[in-house]
Structure 1
Amino acid sequence: MVDESRIKQWLTNANYRNSDIAFREIVSITTSYPGLYPQLDTYIFNDGTPMELVNLHGTIPVRYKNNVYNIPICIWIMDTHPNNAPICYVKPTPDMSIKASMYVDQNGKIYLPYLHDWVPTSSDIIGLIQVMIVTFGEQPPVFARPKDDLPYQRSPYMPQQPPAGGSSFMPFPTPYPPAGGFSGYPPYPPTNTGFPQYPNYPSYPSYTASNFDNPAVPPMSGGTGTIKEEHIRESLLTAIEEKLMRRMKEQFQQSQAELDTLRRTQDELKQGKAKLDAILARLEKEENDLNKNITILQDKEQELEKAIERLSNQEAIDVDDAVITTAPLYKQLLNAFAEEAALEDAIYYMGEALRRGVIDLDVFLRQVRTLSRKQFMLRALMQKCRQKAGLTV
């Protein structure tokens, strides 16, 4: 059971931008894959820059040739997660060697299309682990070292070194999950600091010729040392039960991972459906508004056509008759306005003549002063006429 408060403290101390998302993913991963443990450690980038990051270290179950193996990995979660993909490594134990391929280099760094095409909105670490399980099941990233190269005695659960020049590299098989496992296997020791250490398995018991073909049967203690038929039967039943339980556990975990993926896909589809419904509702509203505007435009067009038809049927209008005033006061106002506009144009052209050097400055000033005085009088006259006529001033 992981310490959730400590994980939150790690994410806060390491200044994770989206600490809530990272926390939820870490808890989900440690629940789905009990062989992985979180820790806060220092990661050194290629340029030598150190950074405090949270990583998930431990093992993941990989099926290879009908056997399940624990592949040791380490996933460094970036402080910008999920905007940037994590950095992943294979971390072989002393009795393992890295098998370099297009997915793993000599240093153990993992290269996957899922990491290269990381999408912040849809990619997550659980999906990455599932891709690792499938990829490493086809191309195991580690194999067991030769017996002479091991720093300690080989575990009875380690496969033999492949023949020279052969391509059948086998990873290091151990039961999964490592904690709370099945009978007959030593449990995986949990730890909170550093990469989890693999247990030193006891060596094989010495078998007699009568039980060599059945390694699941332990030697008898005491008595004559012979194996009776009921012992063989009980041992076989125990071995078959353990094998069936392991297969059922593996099948359950695989089905659970597929179910989780389908649930996430369902959630994404529901979110997409909600977005599409909102878009369709907005489009329907815009369509209704557009239809209303089209109806208004058609009505205005009909009114315009009627006005054009009415005007075309009328007699021609005399411009002079159109500006004839109905009262002497209005006529005086119209004449004053026309004269004032003419003076405005005259002053403008006087300025143009001065600019081009057609007239002298003295002539310009004298004429402008005269025109301005007359213009002022006309404007005062127009204001009085408006007041008398009751028009807006």
Structure 2
Amino acid sequence: MAGVDESRLRTWLAKYHNPEAALRDITTVVNHYQGLVPTQEPYIFNDGTMMDLVNLSGTIPVTYKGNTYNIPICIWLIDTHPKNAPICYVKPTSDMSIKASIFVDQNGKIYLPYLHDWAPGSSELLGLIQVMIVTFGDQPPVFARPKEADIPYPSNSFMPQPGGNYMAPYPPTSYPQSSGYGGYPSYPPSSNMPYPSYTPYPTPYPPYSGSGYGGPSPVPERTGTIKDEHIRESLLTAIEEKLLRRMKEQFQQNQAELETLQRTQDELKQGKMKLNTILSRLEKEQSDLDKNITLLKDKEQELDKAIERLSSEEEIDVDDAVTTTAPLYKQLLNAFAEEAALEDAIYYMGEALRCGVIDLDVFLRQVRTLSRKQFMLRALMQKSRQKAGLAI
């Protein structure tokens, strides 16, 4: 970085939230505009808070009616840069006066749509200075004081320091600002008045560059008469105000429509994600369903084959089918059959009692006898299973 101690600048930016981004921003500006020099000085806010901030102080070249003038400015970078917009002032010398407009107030505070619409990531100091050059080329922020007029210099003016640089220890506390980040000003000063209001009236003095700031600036003789060019300039100023208001309204309308479209796009993206999730689940369910259908068809084919095989075989005699191969199995089979018969007998005894065929004494006596015999059969079956090695 030519002419700037980068290590010192890093030290100044050490307490900033994003020092690397601020350093890149300052480096880019100094490389393009040699008339701006970074320094660190205390800045006092309206609430009395003092903070050491880095500022870019010096001049920027502005072309007005074919002549190039060096307009003195000061750009203060707050510690949240580039998240929040910087604080900008015009720095008039002792023989210069501020030309108030919608862009510059009586105290030199600069108001620009670029500052008001400052967006981290897209807004930068270089773009801000380029907007200043274009804006001040159409509407200069300063003009030369008449030499014959004895105009006292305000106490809050920027006085020249040794070396020819116009510096200020801090901006005057009378600068208008609204509540913003940590006492920092926000743009615009109020929601109802985006820029400082003023009465458009032409000034007979062209922008002044001063010695060391650019070429000569002639000062016409004051006659106190409003001429045609004055009225023309006043009308042009009024038209500029009206066009700026309409442009701002159109910009805000387009911005609102853009935000609405952005929200709609986000909702559509969310809906697309939900639909993709549902489609994925349906595809998985369809795949599982196809597998189950294939499995059922295989089982159905197996059942058809089994039915066909059984149909082609000869009929099986039930007595032959239950013939046991060992005396133990025969004993188990007979015990099981007799126990099942006893269970049926007990059931029908209960039905007979319910229908009144037998009385209660007969029922109890018969059920007690059958139950005792059923118990013995079950014990025999359990013992037989144990001997045969079957599951109990």
Per the normalisation by structure 2, the TM-score is 0.45
Instruction: Report which structure shows greater RCO (CA 8 Å, sep ≥6).
Output: 2
Larger radius of gyration: 2
Report the TM-score, using the length of structure 1 for normalisation. Answer: 0.45
